[in-house]
């Protein structure tokens, strides 16, 4: 038997000694200011992972001043996911295809039922409700799912009531990291129809302020251009200026486009990076052609920004239905990388999809279990909470 010789080349033996660190890397590692300037340009999510690089990086990335500066330099990143309550269950959907995105599991040590009230530039406003001896105790919490940090808001007023007692009907968070590392929490409660009572908490002073208002607000508020906005009967909009803490009714003008019917509103909110305040109205759920209106910078009228026709989706998703009854719910309007590039996030029977009407493209984001779609149309509109990744401290 003849032996065959192998023609494979023998790999050279390499020196196990690691190469010397380059002078540039040493310079960056030893210069905190230079290193910080580089890290400021990275998204929030990888910076969380970079904390494990070294103790030096851990100390830098955990510093509240670094977190505030990073949020100020990256004030409005793209919306990465949505949180929502469906059939009394908290759920979420990723918009960028990432299999992992911040969960709220870090809130598990908090006992009681947890409900999201509002989201704003990376922070969530949470209501925790607990029943003890047939009495309900309520606490409000601000958290950052990216950093997994939360803060219990100090309360100087009594928030304990019997099961039949009335609580705050809505809550909003006002936070603009490009202007200040501090936020305000606004809680609305009904005193006697149509009057409401507003409690305002400032994280800067850790104090509360109470004011009365005579106008009735509808839907959840939307934070835009330093103010919280609500749809209202009497006015085009109700505007609460966060800095001055004054409520202003934005009256209709002869040339303004008024909200036709608040109960026909299908979407009202901020779309993301450009900071537009958008409104979608339709006369019934069966209309697949509608307008997306944008609030004018003078706060006086709604201008038509986009015209949408979703008929092309029906051939791809027959479950949407026929002319008698189209089954879809607008969850959110999300802006893309370019100014006029946007997507509609829609819930349809069995799925949540992203649809770009201009490009006529669509993408399936996740499946919905049987019966979950009905949870979105219970009140005629969906309440979702857009989330962006941020290092902002709480």
If residue 89 lies in a helix (H) or strand (E), which one and from where to where?
Answer: strand 89-94
| pLDDT on residue 33 | 84
Q: How many helices (H) and strands (E) does the chain have?
A: 6, 26
The rounded distance, in Å, linking the Cα atoms of 241 and 132 is 37
Q: How far is CA 355 from CA 99, 100, 349, in A?
A: 20, 22, 15
| pLDDT on residue 223 | 92
pLDDT in tens, 296-344: 877 777 888 888 888 888 888 888 876 667 788 899 998 877 767 788 9
| pLDDT on residue 183 | 95
> Terminus-to-terminus CA distance in the chain, angstroms?
78
Check if the beta carbon of residue 270 is closer than 8 Å to that of residue 332: no
pLDDT above 70 for 117? yes
The number of beta carbons lying within 10 Å of the beta carbon of residue 182 is 15
Q: What is the mean pLDDT of the chain?
A: 79
Q: Which of 49, 104, 41, 51 is nearest to 77 (CA)?
A: 41
pLDDT above 50 for 368? yes
Q: What angle do CA 55, 80, 86 make, to 5 degrees?
A: 115
- pLDDT tier at 9, thresholds 50, 70, 90: very low
| pLDDT on residue 191 | 52
- pLDDT tier at 164, thresholds 50, 70, 90: very low
Q: Which residue has the tokens 């609500």?
A: 230
- pLDDT tier at 218, thresholds 50, 70, 90: low
pLDDT in tens, 84-114: 888 778 888 998 877 666 778 888 877 778 8
pLDDT above 90 for 49? no
- pLDDT tier at 7, thresholds 50, 70, 90: very low
DSSP 8-state assignment for residue 350: T
Q: What angle do CA 119, 207, 105 make, to 5 degrees?
A: 35
- pLDDT tier at 193, thresholds 50, 70, 90: low
The number of beta carbons lying within 10 Å of the beta carbon of residue 13 is 6
pLDDT above 80 for 21? no
């Amino acid at each position: 038997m003849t032996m065959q010789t192998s023609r494979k080349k023998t790999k050279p033996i390499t020196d196990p000694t690691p190469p010397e660190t380059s002078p540039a890397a040493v310079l960056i590692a030893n210069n905190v200011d230079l290193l910080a300037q580089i890290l400021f340009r990275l998204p929030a999510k990888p910076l969380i992972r970079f904390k494990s690089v070294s103790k030096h990086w851990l100390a830098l990335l955990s510093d509240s001043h670094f977190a505030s500066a990073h949020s100020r330099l990256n004030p409005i990143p793209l919306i990465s996911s949505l949180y929502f309550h469906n059939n009394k269950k908290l759920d979420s959907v990723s918009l960028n295809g990432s299999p992992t995105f911040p969960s709220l599991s870090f809130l598990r040590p908090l006992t009681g039922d947890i409900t999201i009230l509002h989201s704003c530039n990376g922070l969530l406003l949470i209501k925790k409700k607990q029943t003890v001896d047939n009495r309900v105790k309520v606490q409000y919490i601000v958290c950052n799912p990216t950093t997994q940090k939360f803060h219990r808001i100090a309360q100087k007023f009594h928030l304990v009531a019997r099961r039949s007692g009335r609580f705050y009907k809505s809550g909003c968070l006002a936070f603009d990291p490009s202007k200040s590392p501090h936020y305000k929490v606004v809680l609305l409660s009904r005193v006697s129809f149509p009057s409401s009572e507003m409690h305002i908490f400032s994280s800067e002073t850790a104090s509360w302020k109470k004011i009365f208002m005579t106008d009735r607000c509808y839907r959840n508020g939307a934070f835009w251009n330093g103010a919280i906005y609500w749809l209202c009967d009497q006015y085009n909009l109700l505007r609460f200026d966060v800095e001055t803490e004054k409520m202003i009714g934005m009256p209709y003008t002869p040339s303004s486009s008024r909200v036709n019917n608040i109960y026909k509103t299908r979407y009202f909110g901020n779309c993301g990076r450009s900071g537009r305040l958008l409104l979608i109205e339709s006369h019934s759920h069966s209309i697949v052609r509608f307008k997306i209106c944008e609030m004018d910078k003078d706060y006086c009228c709604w201008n038509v920004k986009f015209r949408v026709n979703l008929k092309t989706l029906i051939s791809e998703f027959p479950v949407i239905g026929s002319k008698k009854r189209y089954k879809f719910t607008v969850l959110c309007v999300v802006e893309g990388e370019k100014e006029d590039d946007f997507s509609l996030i829609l819930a349809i029977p069995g799925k949540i999809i992203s649809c770009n009407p201009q490009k006529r493209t669509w993408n399936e984001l996740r499946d919905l279990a049987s019966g979950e779609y009905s949870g979105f149309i219970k009140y005629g509109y969906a309440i979702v909470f857009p989330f962006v990744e941020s290092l902002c401290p709480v």
